[in-house]
Chains A and B, each alone.
Chain A
Amino acid sequence: MKVRVGAAATVALASLTAVACSLQAGQQASVAPDPPETALVSDPEAEVRYVDPGYAAFGDQHLTTVGVRRLTESQYRNTIADVFGPDITINARFEPERREDGLQAIGNVRLSVSTTGLEQYFSVARSIADQVMADERRERIIGCQPASVDDRACAESFIKSRGMHLFSRPLTDGEIDARLAIWSEGAQQKGDFHEGLKLALVSLLVDPEFLFRKEYAEADPADPDAHRMSGYTKAARLSFMLWDTAPDAELLEAAQSGAIHSSEGLAGQVDRLLASDRLEQGARAFFTDMLHFDKYETLTKDPGTYPKFSQAVADSSREETLRFLVDHLIAQDRDYRDIFTSRDTILNRSLAAVYQIPYPSTEDWARYTFPEDSDRSGVLTQVSFLSLFSHPASSSPTVRGVKLHEIFMCLPTPEPPADVDFSKVQALENGTVRERLDHMTNPGCNTCHAISDPAGLSLEHFDGLGQTRRLENGQPIDVSAKIGDLEFSGAPGLGQYLRGSPLVTSCIVRNVHYYGAGRPFDYKDAAYLAEKGEAFASGGYRMTELYRSILTDPDFYQVIIPDGAGPDDGDAQALSDKPATTGAGQ
């Protein structure tokens, strides 16, 4: 059995590696569309090569891969929990994701899997399979009671049903046959039905069709010269966008029936997903990405300077902001712009100590409203933003200003020149940081810092952990700021400035769109984004309406056929220069 299992694993590994290699080139479409007879085919030249399985199970439909992104860690975990149950534990360290154009969701289209990452995926797959096939779970999860060690119908039922949820589409006959072959050999050699199924499940879990979200275009039945996004791809987009997990049975059914291609069908699914409690999961994933919370992986503070900092405080601060945003924007459906001015938050005992306030509850988390004179004003004055975008032993008006513009206004700042002398600003024992920042008067630096620093300086009443202060080295801290012709003071002034900035609202529109679409900003989308921005405003800047507006718009599902790909190269070439907007309801 070892030989056969090793062979199966090798084939799966090779196919994954091949996809990874093709993705490293940054291609959005990479594999041939023709459905093969078998899913995994050896290549005598390169030993193995990956062949797109296509959708042989669905007739003659020709599909073209138009997008690939690696599953994020949360998507992986959520999908496993949905498919096999929340009691499946996943002890793994996932490979880092890549941020591009402000979002990991965009950078992930360029992610590959390293050898180490591949080993990790295999290790996790084996662990998951062991748990799924454990005595206490397998009957519930498999869904049938094997009559014998070679009960093919039961094995096939499991592979089809769970495979469909893992791949976000039905498995092809080839994919099913491959897993059945693995199951059969394993079961026979071990004399155990479930041992064989365990191997088949591992094979599914390390398949690129699961580890990567592949998006497909198909010929548009309404227009033979055009393409549209496949129904299953639409379903996956909706689900991963709003729930951060693979599509549920109802979405898959809408894809299978084609209902998702109609305006009504699509709107119905969007409404259903938006109304679900699981929207919180999707919103948390979105803001985790947008707010650069991956930086928590490397967040450290000097214990001498900030003794209250701990892993518990770090974890709590991340949770505080996510709870606040979900509560404000989803549960209460309030104005997005208020996240910069609200004095409300949801905190715990650890954070209360950092904020130097009594924790008014015996529960783990409690709502709290900061006093008016607290200087606290929305998400920018929460510990998460203030500590993430500071140095280990000091605050940083520049870093805060740069990140504020990048995250909330979609205005990235160029990297600083290599020859910057930081010695003056790093002399923390001298005066206030405003006095130590000399680049505001340096013409070479001023271009960028005149934009970033005023906003950051207005947050200087909060130290590098986010604790309130009024003095630095015994000197009163000046939190006045001037951006353009606008003068304001402190965090509340900054909050009001951001609340009124059209860049802030256009940025969230842009982020939501590209987070879901998984591609970088394109100036050709400007008019579309402007239209969405207007709708966002007219809807009272409600996130749920923004989601609805984008996700029910056919433009969100436009496909771009890459060069040289597709069933008809001529059409693909023609479509590669301009989006082939077909989409829902057309």
Chain B
Amino acid sequence: MRRTLRQVSCAAALALGGAGVAHAEWSRTYVVEWYEAAMYYGADEGVIDPGTDCPAGTNGEPDWTKVMLEAGYSAQETRWLLDPTHPFRPEGHSTSGQNQMAFRGKDRANVYSQPWLAPDPVLTGVSGSIGEGFDLDGDPDNGFTSPDGSMSGIDNQFYRTLGCWLTYRGPHRQSQHALSKNDEMREGAWTVAIVVSGEGDDPLNDDNVRIGFYNSEDALVKDGNGDIARDYTFVIAPDQRFEAIFDARTVNGVIETTRPADEVWLREASYVRELQLLEAQVRLEMKPDGTLSGHVGGYRPWFDIYKGWIDARGAVIEKLTWIELPGVYYALERNADFSPDGAGGEKTHISFAMRLDAAPAFVMTPGAAELATEVVSYKSIAPPPGKRHRAIPGPLGDRVVDGIVLTKDGVLLGGPEAEIPPPEAESQIASLRE
């Protein structure tokens, strides 16, 4: 929370030579300091224990020997492939990631790029009834019940599908995926500033509120405790895609959308940092301590979720997070619940919600011209997409192809026709051991 408009405009006028112009009656500004998928954790402690969400606990590691044998590899080949000292791995990835694991589909097809050519391992999903998010379809009888019991019909098929996966499961701000991917944001990978403005006299209860999510090029700054420091200034960098504006109201300090946004693009702390949401909604509380916390939700393209994981180096992900990625593909497809084309269309999207926490910050209009005291669109002054808009590359950029990491020279080590062990294996192994 920064302060009400009259206070802000006073400070802005002094700071900026009286340039402040305000139309809203009040405004508060923040910077996003944490995102994570809204995965309600039903256990009491730890991150893998059984709970109401996943009665058997977090899904265990697949039996990779069995997987490879069933894929047609001989016992000798399987032993060789699963031995961590026998890699078909590019430089710098000697401890995890085995390219050949991809080629376990029918006729040794790449199961990352063609998951339908692998058998469905049937991923175990959430069986509990409690979940977080929004009643996106307006059916209170279909969906989860909120943890406090105040809402029903919560649509979050993403959670139902992947909530028992090791990488996502855990208490608030403690899941493996959230910790690692938020750290990238906190180290400066991207920044999202938030402006909230209203027309009424009481910011906590106002029927005419707007909330805007804006791109900023100013990096987050950590404080002495490793948290995101308050009161830093972030300048809005207009972007034709990453700007999301919602009409809303406040009820006892909670911002709620009054009308879902048809389509917005947000950032997400994940391997793919771009999140398209259809029928998007927010529910965010302006807390007395000045922070903003709550949920953003909507329907997201489910195949992009799967693709994000394989592009993050499929074999590495499978090994580190205990998952068979084809299972993710099948489960997302099975549980998808929204078609942009209407009820009869292909369900390309799945209901989703993410938790969002934001710290109080100063937000300036583009060019640091003045304090942002009103939620308006800056898309009209954003650079053309071709020049400025760019996808943020994954950790290895274009070296990951179909879930496999190529060498720096663009060579694929392994493949459908690979001889196992490879003829050059002994020399490779010898050089690795030197």
Where the two chains meet, the residues of A that have a C-beta atom closer than 8 Å to any C-beta of B are 301, 303-304, 306-310, 312, 349-350, 352-354, 356-362, 368-371
Contacts and interface: CB of A to CB of B under 8 A. Distances in A.
Please report whether the interface of chain A is mostly helix, strand, loop or mixed according to DSSP. Answer: loop
Given A308-B230, A353-B229, A362 B235 contact: yes
B223 A308 contact: yes
Contact of B224 (A309, A358, A359): A309
A357 B224 contact: no
Given A310-B224, A362-B367, A371-B10, 4 more contacts: A309-B223, A352-B232, A357-B362, A359-B364
A307 B10 CA distance: 27
A361 B225 CA distance: 27
B227 interface: yes
Given A352-B233, A356-B231, A303 B225 contact: yes
Contact of A303 (B15, B223, B230): B223
A350 B221 contact: yes
A370 to B, nearest CB: 8
Interface in B46-64: none
Interface size class, chain B: 20 to 34
29 contacts: A303-B223, A306-B224, A308-B223, A308-B230, A308-B231, A309-B224, A310-B222, A312-B221, A349-B232, A352-B232, A353-B221, A353-B230, A353-B232, A354-B231, A356-B231, A358-B233, A358-B362, A358-B371, A359-B232, A359-B233, A359-B362, A360-B15, A360-B16, A360-B368, A362-B235, A369-B14, A370-B14, A371-B11, A371-B14
Chain B CB within 10 Å, residue with most, of A349, A360, A361, A370: A360
Interface of B: 10-12, 14-16, 218, 221-225, 227, 229-233, 235, 362, 364, 367-368, 371
A368 B231 contact: no
B223 A358 contact: no
Contacts, number: 72
B230 A358 contact: no
B270 to A, nearest CB: 28
B193 to A, nearest CB: 12
B235 A307 contact: no
A162 B33 CA distance: 54
Nearest to B367: A362
A349 B15 CA distance: 13
Q: Which 10 A-B pairs have the closest CB atoms?
A: A303-B224, A359-B233, A358-B362, A307-B223, A353-B231, A371-B14, A353-B232, A307-B224, A362-B368, A360-B16
B243 to A, nearest CB: 19
Contacts of A306: 224
A357 B361 CA distance: 10
Nearest to A355: B231
Contact of B11 (A308, A310, A349, A357): A357
B364 A308 contact: no
A301 B223 CA distance: 12
Contacts of A371: 10-11, 14
B367 to A, nearest CB: 7
A328 B227 CA distance: 36
Contact of B223 (A310, A356, A359, A369): A310
Contacts of B225: 303-304, 307
A349 B223 contact: no
A263 B427 CA distance: 81
Given A358-B364, A362-B367, A371-B14, A353 B233 contact: yes
Given A353-B231, A356-B231, A308 B224 contact: yes
Nearest to A302: B224
Contacts of B229: 307-308, 310, 353
A357 to B, nearest CB: 6
A359 B221 CA distance: 14
A358 B16 CA distance: 9
A354 B233 CA distance: 11
A356 B224 CA distance: 17
Nearest to B218: A349
Contacts of B233: 349, 352-353, 358-359
B226 to A, nearest CB: 9
Contacts of A304: 225
Given A353-B232, A353-B233, A359-B368, A368 B224 contact: no
Contacts of A354: 231
A359 B11 CA distance: 11
